[in-house]
Amino acid sequence: MSSATALAHPNIALIKYWGKRDEDGNLPAVGSLSVTLDALRTRTTVSFDSSLDRDELILNGAVAATEQPRLERCLNALRELARRRDYARVESENDFPTGAGLASSASGYAALTVAGAAALGLDLRDPQLESVARIGSGSAPRSLHGGFVLLENTPSGTRCRALLAPADWPLQVVVAVTSEAGKSTSSRDGMVDSQRTSPYYQPWVDSHPADLAQGQRLVAARDFAGLAALAEHNCLKMHAVMLTTRPPLMYWLPVTLACMQVISGLRRDGVPVFFTIDAGPQVKAVCLPEATATVAEALQQVPGVLRLLTGGLGTGARIIDSNG
Ligand code: PMV
């Protein structure tokens, strides 16, 4: 038996992706720019064992049947790279709500890829691991890296790299958890529906390269005010596509909007903070370190906020134990 354990953090996109350019290869329609979060963690152990007759997944202590097809595709890709045939037992734990708009699939598939690759003795610097992670989730390659991460489309796939390390621009992120429930429509299904039915989908795709280029310039310049305005605009543009999908993808709760208004008010008063929201009701407030306490205090008081998860920018997925 050969096994390895990896830790990975979720990431949140400041310039988002929504939509696929190729569903089979899980290739995103547009690039994205994210930050990796150190406050939330996935810990995954992958053990390849010749006595198993199928791949097994235990997620947060229970069999996760719905993840089985994606899991098998990722493990098949790793087995192909390593020219090995053994099935694997995968045990994964998140210390935050799973499948609720907190990017658990990003950290989950980044941890799975790195742990599986280490258990099989693969080179962890091999860029092909990015494609393995992407099979699981379009945003998972971003969690292979730390700090500010750019995922770009290339003619045949994607390329993902860190733009700045966490220490280069140590922003803080306060996550307002507004529901612990899983989302009703997965990102993967929602994107396909948006692509088919939203009249705003094509304008979203067409206007996206300019946002991505500007996002890179603002990150390079450490321009917080510029990034705040752009990231909120890009987030709302994605939600406009979601809302105009048939049937509508309404991921917000009333408390989500209340948090957004509080954050907008703080920024109007000069507090360096902006919001971003993904396919779920949680609100992520990104701020300069000196604003963290003010932002946390304000969000804590919003009725309906269940708890806050606060932290800085994290590192990429890494091995913490291995006998591969
Ligand atoms: O990780 P996926 O492929 O299920 O989709 C992520 C989609 C968003 O979180 C809404 C946007 C993003 O770029 O992370």
Give tens-digit pLDDT for 214-223. 999 999 999 9
Amino acid identity at 317? A
In the predicted structure, residue 322 carries a pLDDT above the cut 70: yes
In the predicted structure, residue 245 carries a pLDDT above the cut 80: yes
Q: Which two tokens stand for residue 24?
A: 């089979």
Which protein residue has the closest C-alpha to ligand 1 atom 3? 138
Ligand 1 centroid to Cα of residue 1, in Å, is 34
CA 71 to chain centre: 17
- The lowest-confidence range among 84-93, 100-109, 248-257, 289-298 is 100-109
Residue 73 DSSP label: H
Q: What is the mean pLDDT of residues 22-46?
A: 96
pLDDT value for 291:
98
Q: What is the mean pLDDT of residues 24-29?
A: 92
In the predicted structure, residue 182 carries a pLDDT above the cut 90: no
Amino acid identity at 306? L
Cis peptide leading into 10, omega within 30 of 0? no
In the predicted structure, residue 100 carries a pLDDT above the cut 80: no
pLDDT value for 10:
97
Ligand 1 centroid to Cα of residue 26, in Å, is 12
Which protein residue has the closest C-alpha to ligand 1 atom 4? 187
Q: What is the mean pLDDT of residues 265-283?
A: 97
pLDDT value for 97:
82
Average predicted confidence (pLDDT) for the chain:
96
Task: Indicate the pLDDT class of residue 14, thresholds 50, 70 and 90.
Answer: very high
Task: Indicate the pLDDT class of residue 98, thresholds 50, 70 and 90.
Answer: confident
Q: Which atom of ligand 1 is nearest to the CA of 188?
A: 4
Q: Which pairs count as long-range contacts for 210-213, CB under 8 Å and 24+ apart, including other chains?
A: 211/15, 211/237, 212/15, 212/30, 212/31, 212/32, 212/33, 212/150, 212/152
Q: What is the mean pLDDT of residues 146-166?
A: 97
In the predicted structure, residue 271 carries a pLDDT above the cut 90: yes
Q: What is the mean pLDDT of residues 124-149?
A: 96
Ligand 1 centroid to Cα of residue 324, in Å, is 31
Please, are residues 119 and 78 in contact by the beta-carbon 8 Å criterion?
no
**Residue 178, ligand 1, Cβ within 6 A:** no
pTM over 0.95: yes
Query: Measuring CA to CA, which residue among 218, 93, 230 is closest to residue 163?
Result: 218
Which three-class secondary structure state does DSSP give residue 87? Answer: strand
Q: Could you report the per-residue pLDDT of 223-238, keeping only the tens digit for each?
A: 999 999 999 999 999 9
pLDDT value for 149:
98
Q: 191 to each of 21, 246, 249, how far by Cα in Å?
A: 11, 11, 10
Q: Which atom of ligand 1 is nearest to the CA of 101?
A: 9
**Residue 188, ligand 1, Cβ within 6 A:** yes
**Residue 279, ligand 1, Cβ within 6 A:** yes
**Is the model more confident about 94 or about 181?**
94
Cα separation, 54 vs 49, whole angstroms: 10
DSSP secondary structure letters along 4-35: EEEEE--EEEEE---SEEETTTTEESS-EEEE
Cα separation, 67 vs 214, whole angstroms: 36
Ligand 1 centroid to Cα of residue 182, in Å, is 15
Which three-class secondary structure state does DSSP give residue 215? Answer: helix
**Residue 251, ligand 1, Cβ within 6 A:** no
Beta-carbon contacts of 322 under 8 Å, excluding residues fewer than 6 positions away, are 3, 4, 5, 118, 119
Integer distance in angstroms from the first to the last C-alpha of the chain? Answer: 8
Query: pLDDT over 70 for what percent of the chain?
Result: 100
Task: Indicate the pLDDT class of residue 324, thresholds 50, 70 and 90.
Answer: low
Which protein residue has the closest C-alpha to ligand 1 atom 5? 187
Cα separation, 152 vs 17, whole angstroms: 10
Ligand 1 centroid to Cα of residue 2, in Å, is 32
Which three-class secondary structure state does DSSP give residue 175? Answer: strand
Q: Which of 12, 34, 187 to mutate to test the pocket of ligand 1 (most atoms within 8 A of CB)?
A: 187
Q: What is the mean pLDDT of residues 281-293?
A: 97
Cα separation, 272 vs 291, whole angstroms: 6
Cα separation, 143 vs 5, whole angstroms: 16
Query: Measuring CA to CA, which residue among 200, 215, 78 is closest to residue 150?
Result: 215
Would strands 87-94 and 158-164 be described as parallel, antiparallel, or unpaired?
unpaired
pLDDT value for 102:
85
pLDDT value for 184:
79
